[in-house]
Structure 1
Amino acid sequence: MTKAASKSIAAQADPARVDGRRERGRSSHKRIVEAMMELIVGGDLAPSAARVAEEAGIGLRTVFRHFDDMDALYAEITATITQRVMPIVAAPYPAQNWRANVRDMVHRRVRVFETTLPFRLAANIKRYQSPFLMGQYSKVVLLERELLLRLLPAPVLSDRINVEALCAVLSFQSWRTLRHDQGLSAEDAGKVTMHMVEALLTTIGDAA
């Protein structure tokens, strides 16, 4: 009898053992993801697999058994963070003046950027060595741009310089500069962002 057949018979004979093993596997998987996220939030923006294993209280071999490489772990974290912020990002805008919607977007971006700040800082450190993270970076930048462009009426879209300025002000890189480089609080960074957006809105001519 082959080893695989023996395992199959053993599984059929003792389903409780198999269920217990699967449950332990799910538990270890969750602990790994949570450990990685806690380390990043705590300021370790580039934790090693060994550090993740230590934080999760499991063996290093277990980490690599659940995630073939660190990209797989980053993919899991990305999915978790996306679930948190998509309700904010995808919520419909009310039927109001486009300028009011842009102001609403400022408040949304502040919430999303602040929620994702440590994770995007961590991803920026690793993305040049990670095809997955580099691909995610490009997708998110494009999405953020498209979400803004959808709010702008055609006459405004033809004002290329102001449109590009709005995209820059409402980018994560601008938020990172305010929070990380200039050391502003989230509240003050939000006020500065709104101030810059209001200044741009005054330079844009009347549009339908």
Structure 2
Amino acid sequence: MVPKAKAKSEGATSARVDGRRERSRSSRARIVAAMLELIERGDLTPSAARVAEEAGVGLRTVFRQFDDMDTLYRKMSETIAERVMPIIAAPYAGSDWRADVRDLVGRRVRVFETMLPFRLAANIKRYQSPFLMGQYGQVVALERDFLMRLLPEAVRADRVGVEALCVALSFQTWRALRHDQGLDSGEAGAAVAHMVETLLAVAPG
């Protein structure tokens, strides 16, 4: 049998370890929330000092968490995914594939506008982060896959037409319309819809 004094000591040590872990998880959650809030407000590369102030934690705590940036980026990505996945994953109910693609246009507009500051921030950092670089490729592939699922075989066989649709419905096009060309979200959405309608008009099937 384990002596009572030793068992008590081990229990106290375990409680202290669990407490530190819980405080660390809580601090990380607050830091992630603070980073997301600052980015959403337009600070795409928030400093540790600003994050600490927003999160209500010490600067040293932020620096400890910043030692593992990819874990923070992963947590941020999970939080953002929770916001947009209900839009992305909702079933399509169009009368034909063209109606479904028009539905996709509306979804992309909503998702891209929601994600705009976060994807801009990720683009700045992705060359320094294996996680963000890998995620970038996965997101681009996923966006393409969601479009391809809606297209009939005759349309998928038209490589030029498919690539044009992919570009029209890409985040890069949304960023260009919103930032480079200075359109508001309504104008940018109308521009994307116009491009897609033009392509649908000449698509086979």
Please tell me the residue identity of whatever aligns with 2:90.
A
Match of 2:158 in 1: 159
Equivalent residue of 1:93, what SS?
coil
Match of 2:124 in 1: 125
Match of 2:197 in 1: 198
1:49–1:70: 8 Å Cα contact kept in structure 2?
Answer: no
Match of 2:41 in 1: 42
1:143-182 equivalences under 5 Å are: 143-182=142-181
Match of 1:8 in 2: 10
- Evaluate the alpha carbon distance shift between residue 165 and residue 146 of structure 1 in structure 2; reply closer, same or farther with a 3 A threshold: same
Match of 1:69 in 2: 68
Is 1:90 the counterpart of 2:92? The answer is: no
Alpha-carbon distance between aligned partners in 2 of 1:116 and 1:7, rounded to the nearest angstrom: 49
Number of positions where the alignment pairs a residue of Structure 1 with one of Structure 2: 200
Moved more, 58-67 or 29-38: 58-67
Which whole-Å deviations, capped at 9, do the CAs of 1:86-139 have from their partners, x for residues lacking one? 111111111521000000000000010011000000000111111111100000
Q: CA deviation at 1:59?
A: 1.4
Alpha-carbon distance between aligned partners in 2 of 1:174 and 1:104, rounded to the nearest angstrom: 18
- Evaluate the alpha carbon distance shift between residue 36 and residue 7 of structure 1 in structure 2; reply closer, same or farther with a 3 A threshold: farther
The percentage of aligned residue pairs carrying the same residue is: 68
Equivalent residue of 2:10, what SS?
helix
- Kindly report structure 1 stretches of 4+ aligned residues shifted beyond 6 Å: 17-20
Which whole-Å deviations, capped at 9, do the CAs of 1:39-68 have from their partners, x for residues lacking one? 101111012333312221211221244454
When the two chains are superposed, the root-mean-square deviation of aligned CA atoms in Å is 2.3
Q: TM-score, with normalisation over the residues of structure 2?
A: 0.88
Alpha-carbon distance between aligned partners in 2 of 1:61 and 1:8, rounded to the nearest angstrom: 29
**Unmatched segments (≥5 aa) in structure 2:** 1-6
- Evaluate the alpha carbon distance shift between residue 25 and residue 174 of structure 1 in structure 2; reply closer, same or farther with a 3 A threshold: same
Moved more, 68-77 or 183-192: 68-77
1:105-120 equivalences under 5 Å are: 105-120=104-119
Q: CA deviation at 1:75?
A: 1.0
Please tell me the residue identity of whatever aligns with 1:117.
L
**Unmatched segments (≥5 aa) in structure 1:** none
Please tell me the residue identity of whatever aligns with 1:44.
D
1:168–1:174: 8 Å Cα contact kept in structure 2?
Answer: yes
Please tell me the residue identity of whatever aligns with 2:80.
I
Alpha-carbon distance between aligned partners in 1 of 2:69 and 2:22, rounded to the nearest angstrom: 23
Please tell me the residue identity of whatever aligns with 2:132.
L
Alpha-carbon distance between aligned partners in 2 of 1:96 and 1:159, rounded to the nearest angstrom: 22
Q: TM-score, with normalisation over the residues of structure 1?
A: 0.87
Please tell me the residue identity of whatever aligns with 2:11.
I
Match of 1:81 in 2: 80
Alpha-carbon distance between aligned partners in 2 of 1:196 and 1:163, rounded to the nearest angstrom: 13
